Amino acid sequence: QLVESGGGSVQAGGSLTLSCTHSAGYTLSRYCLAWFRQAPGKQREAVAAFAPGDGDTNYADSVKGRFTIAQDASKNTLNLQMNSLKPEDTAMYFCAADRRPGGPCYTTSLIPNHYEYWGQGTQVTVS
């Protein structure tokens, strides 16, 4: 099970770092990884994706230049560094993973249906 942490309340212009890990200790490097978010009354939208196979990243236009997705293999976490936060970034943030059979992941999909495993989410509120 994926577990997110690091959410909270912050003023506009501030920063937060979200982390995701696997509660059973499964190695995240074996999965395609991503962050999504969902605001009340809105559909779930992509934030960023990470491919452990080659370190490739992919970002939604709304967060490019402000957010950074990265894996910390030593801690087995997927992190999302969020800078210059805006009120419109307020949402529940979800970590997602998808296992690719046959080897490491080299894709960075921003499509929710491409991910099989999801965390419970962590709330980010920007005022």
Closest CA to 89 of 110, 109, 62: 62
61's CB contacts (< 8 A; 6+ apart) are: none
- pLDDT tens-place string over residues 96-123: 999 877 778 999 999 999 999 999 999 9
Please give the Cα distance from 77 to 18 (Å, whole number).
10
Q: Is 76 helix (H, G, I), strand (E, B) or coil?
A: coil
- 22 token code pair: 């696997």
The DSSP secondary structure of 8-74, one letter per residue, reads EEE-TT--EEEEEEETT---GGGEEEEEEEE-TTS--EEEEEEETTTTEEEE-TTTTTTEEEEEETT
Please give the Cα distance from 47 to 54 (Å, whole number).
19
Neighbour count for residue 42 (Cβ, 10 Å): 9
- pLDDT tens-place string over residues 73-84: 899 999 999 999
- pLDDT tens-place string over residues 10-60: 999 999 999 999 988 888 988 999 999 999 999 999 999 999 999 999 999
